[in-house]
A and B are shown apart, each in its own frame.
Chain A
Amino acid sequence: MGTAHLLVIDDEPGIRSGVREILCFEGYSVDVAASGREALELSAARPYDVVFIDYRLPDIDGLTLLQSIHQQRPSAMTCMITAYANIETAIAATRQGIDFFLPKPFTSEDLLGVVDTLLRHKKLRDEAELLRVAHEQSLRELASEKSQTHSLVASLRDGVLVVNRDGEIVLANRAMAELLGTDPTSLEGQSVRCALVDGALAPALSAFDPIDPGSAVFEVDVETRRLFVNVSGFRDGSGTLLGQIVTAVDISAVRRLALEKARFTRTLVHELRAPLGAVKSMIEVVRDKSLGGDLDPYLPFLARADQRLDGLADLVSDLLSLSRLDYEAAASAPNPRLDVAPIIAEVAELWRDRAAQIPVILSLDISEELPRPAIAEDDLRTILTNLLGNAIKYNRPNGSVTLCAQRTTEGLFIAVRDTGIGIAAESLPHLTDEFFREKRQQTRGIDGNGLGLAIVKRLVDRAGGRLEISSLLGQGSEFRLILHG
């Protein structure tokens, strides 16, 4: 504390100057006031550490002044100076919060002793006040931190349960309560062993041994969900166990992905092994000379084996495309606006020979002034190659394929219509699934690996476009491609 500021209020000029002299000599900063009004003006202007008040003042009585000063400066210490002290005055002044009485007459030692005592009191009181404020502040922070933690935990979609050292649940969120078939408030305060014993999380019980609390990790199926449950202890800085925390994370999506991947791999292995097996047995037939020593009978077989190997090569490049689509999910740079008409013509040209073999009439109906969609040239080429190829391959002899491209309000519209075998209604939703192929009498012998439309769908999605398919069994199909121009 720096220099203490004192205020002396007395209507006797002798006392004012005498007291000021004594206190200034001791190094205190002292102001004096001759009246109550003057005193209040001074006190309003600056805080005083100690205020001496004469009980008898010309304008305001001592008790009223004391009250006003306390209102102005609650932290000021007050001392009443009076020659007429009686017990009633003392009680009334004490009620108003007076800190000390100094009866007149007094010596300079009396005065300095009072000042010293009051300043020490004030120091203690100020420190206590500081501590109280700090304590209240930290309590408030703690409460808000606790409520923040609570609402954070409550809003988690994963189940969370916190258990103290006595095996009592201190925190549970809604997700966890739902798993245990109850609500969070009825869980809190309950014994964890009672709460878990009948539910899906019963395997966690072993971790809540009262003598030897441990941890547990397991997966459990709850209705349609697969949960990953983890029980572990949490400790303070010195390593003392404070309690345990149970988390239940829904891993259904991850598991579904894993199952899908396993299914994909299984199908892929089948698709790879089938041609390998067929070609291998063909080679055995030749080496075995099963059809005699002359080469000619083997030639048709060898041609088919060759086709199977071509199919295998196509499969490998389609797999590569799919895998590239996986890690290139978002196109890196925006695509330039593409002039599609030349690409349509070019892809159609590639299929002319195959169309003529069946034979299928392939015709193009391309409007002038087509919109230019933002799509990579290779992507559009792959899409069109697949759509036209399917329309030709799954057609009937003397059928037709029409590709129509025009501008609509949505952008570029391309329709590929065929007069082919059509697609069964129940197959339509699966048409863009990887490896999906309709296996029917009519599809037998048509080459394909079931990846084409899966790739098309993903390329169209990537370009922000839309693929629509409609079909009538035995009549034909229409694939509509919409790309925003």
Chain B
Amino acid sequence: MSEKTKLLFVDDDPLFLAAQAAYFGARGFAVSTAEGTEEAIELLERERPDMILVDLMMEHSDSGFTLARRIRRDERLREVPLVMLSGVASATGSGFAGDQEALRSWSQLDEFIDKPVSAKQLLAVVERRLADRALSPKEE
């Protein structure tokens, strides 16, 4: 790959975004960040990332799902690997955890990851997802 792989992180925590930008930036990725749903949508109109990582709980407790659904309905972004990060998924054994499968299929997520997650773990996920995508016959 001659061009840098583009990652988009969407999270309402600026420190988390800054850390990911530094970590993945140092590994040769082109990292964009958005601090909320609106900013992400704006950015996605201009860019087509190779992978998107979205925080579940931003403006609302389910903002991440709404954004994911919107991305999946966009012809241009439909095939982009989409990973959801959440601090609440398995937190209490109720609520989101119970409906996780239903929500994942509704929002057509590729993967659900519990926060807090180390940058190293995230890197492994990113590399695996990108490798899957590269092998997929659908990929041009």
Contact = CB atoms under 8 A, between A and B. Distances in A.
Tell me, yes or no, whether A binds B. Answer: yes
B50 interface: no
A291 B15 contact: no
B16 to A, nearest CB: 4
Nearest to B20: A281
Interface in B53-107: 57-61, 87-88, 91-92, 94-96
Given A276-B116, A277-B115, A277-B117, A285 B19 contact: yes
A122 interface: no
B92 A269 contact: yes
Nearest to B119: A284
Interface in A280-303: 280-282, 284-285, 288-291, 301
Nearest to A280: B116
Of the four ranges (under 10, 10 to 19, 20 to 34, 35 or more), the interface on chain A belongs to 20 to 34
Contacts of B26: 285, 288-291
Contacts of B22: 285, 290-291, 301
Nearest to A437: B59
Contacts of B61: 267
Interface in A234-278: 262-263, 265-267, 269-270, 273-278
Interface of B: 12-16, 18-20, 22-23, 25-27, 35-36, 57-61, 87-88, 91-92, 94-96, 115-120
Interface of A: 262-263, 265-267, 269-270, 273-282, 284-285, 288-291, 301, 304-305, 308, 439, 444-445
28 contacts: A263-B95, A265-B92, A266-B92, A267-B61, A269-B91, A270-B57, A270-B87, A273-B91, A274-B16, A275-B13, A277-B16, A277-B115, A277-B117, A278-B16, A281-B15, A281-B19, A281-B116, A281-B119, A282-B19, A285-B23, A289-B26, A301-B18, A304-B14, A304-B18, A308-B15, A439-B58, A444-B12, A444-B36
Contacts of B20: 281
The 4 A-B pairs with the shortest beta carbon distances in the complex, nearest first, are A277-B116, A290-B26, A281-B19, A273-B87
A279 B15 contact: yes
A223 B16 CA distance: 44
- Most A Cβ at <10 Å: residue of B12, B57, B91: B91
A266 B59 contact: no
Nearest to A301: B18
Given A262-B94, A269-B87, 19 more contacts: A265-B91, A266-B88, A267-B88, A273-B116, A277-B16, A277-B87, A277-B116, A278-B19, A279-B15, A281-B23, A284-B19, A285-B23, A288-B23, A290-B22, A301-B22, A304-B14, A304-B18, A439-B58, A444-B14
A44 to B, nearest CB: 86
A290 B23 contact: yes
A400 B23 CA distance: 41
